[in-house]
Amino acid sequence: APSTVIVAPSGILRLASATEATHDYLVVATDEGWKLAAPTGLTLDDCARRPGAVREGRYVRAVTAPGMEGRVPAVAALDSFVDVTLRRLDVAAERRELIAREKIDYLFAPPDWVELLAGAPTVGVANLQVDAVFTSHPCHLHELAHVLVNFSLEKLPLYTLPLLQEGLAVHLGGRWERGPDFLAQVGRMFLADGYVSVGELLPRDGFYRLGADLSYPAAGVLAGWLLESAGPAEFANTYLALSGTPERLSGLSADRVAAVLAAPLGLPDSTVASLDPALAAHLASLPGNPLRAAPAGADGEPLRRFTDAGLHLRLWRDEDEWIIEIIAPHGAEPAGALLVP
């Protein structure tokens, strides 16, 4: 226990001892005395006191921070996503009503605020301790999906394999302005053309080594396959079975993860070697993918070409960098996110 406790007028509670480093905590004065407070909660409360800062929908309470004047969070779209997603995850009506009463907080804030609250450079983050989203994007469905998945589980894990945690959020809500349907096409191409292998994707460390632009779309394909095959209840059981401490998750090999996935996917065997052909058969059963990789060209030619609804992407490899050229139909100026940032 710390040997010193100081409550300062500035609202800082300082805990220190002779052998440990000092750490500052935020506190607030209440009728019952001083209480610890999370910076995220204080930020939400402070912003919500500003006139006109709060916009409430059926499920979402959007709070606009200073510096975001002239921009409006997409409350109707967020509400619609919550309703559709809760039904997809088979959340009971009374549980959906609980969210309608309590609301999910959605802080719409400048990028520098979001980075401070998240503790890292990011467009947005789901703060699962307070069931809130902090983002500079008006309709950040990927992070909202994380909150809804945790709500549907009821028994919250501390950590989950990113294959399912991020994969399900991509399958439900896309990622960084790229919708789930488009990212499913990207993920299918990555898996079918060998940019990502199942053996790399299943273990925790392998997933992170791939990088998010490769791993997230491919994980979305696997998570969607699992949700479709197993149904929401069995998916939740599998999600919890692949959760635990960082040490436990880092110790799970690709084959051990495959063994957990086998039964809900209806596979007779439980190794990566058996999962590979089953995934290939699943991909082949899906409608045709408009994103395809062309054979490598001659010197000076693009390595890959992609076409989707008349928008052409040409991809070059230059040492350690990918170079993308975008050609829009009829000379129109393309808008949106790049295929591979």
Q: Say how far residue 237 (Cα) sits from the centre of its chain.
A: 20
Least confident range of 34-38, 134-138, 250-254: 34-38
Is residue 338 predicted with pLDDT exceeding 50?
no
Where are any strands of DSSP class E within 8-152? 12-16, 23-30, 33-37, 54-56, 60-64, 104-108, 124-127, 132-135
Q: Give the pLDDT confidence of 197-241 residue by residue, as tens digits.
A: 999 999 999 999 998 989 999 999 999 999 999 999 999 999 999
pLDDT class of 158 with cuts at 50, 70, 90: confident
pLDDT value of residue 21: 55
Tell me, what DSSP letter sits at residue 4?
E
Q: At what angle do helices 141-153 and 162-173 cross, to 10 degrees?
A: 120
This prediction's pTM: 0.79
Contact yes or no for 230/322 (Cβ under 8 A): no
Q: Does the pLDDT of residue 297 top 80, yes or no? A: no
- DSSP-derived letter for residue 31 is T
Confidence of residue 282 (pLDDT cuts 50, 70, 90): very high
Asked whether the CA dihedral 291, 229, 104, 126 is positive or negative, the reply is negative
DSSP calls for 151-201: HHHSS--SEE-HHHHHHHHHHHH-BTTB-HHHHHHHHHHHHHTTSS-HHHH
Q: What percent of the chain is predicted at pLDDT more than 90?
A: 57
Phi, psi of 144 (to 5 degrees): -65, -35
pLDDT exceeds 60 at position 15: no
d(CA 174, CA 159): 21
For 276, the token pair is: 């590979």
93 Cβ contact list (under 8 Å, min separation 6): none
Phi/psi of residue 132, each to 5°? -140, 160
Distance CA 160, CA 183 (A): 21
Of 42-56, 222-236, 255-269, 324-338, highest mean pLDDT: 222-236
Give the mean pLDDT of 27-43: 82
Q: How many Cα neighbours within 13 Å face the side chain of 327?
A: 9
- Residue-level pLDDT at 303: 47
Q: Would you state the pLDDT for residue 291?
A: 67
d(CA 55, CA 74): 10
User: How far, in Å, CA of 182 to CA of 295, rounded?
Assistant: 22
Neighbouring CB atoms inside 10 A of 149's CB total: 24
Write down the number of H helices and E strands in the chain.
13, 14
The residue-averaged pLDDT of 111-131 equals 89
Q: State the pLDDT confidence band at 178, using cuts at 50, 70 and 90.
A: confident
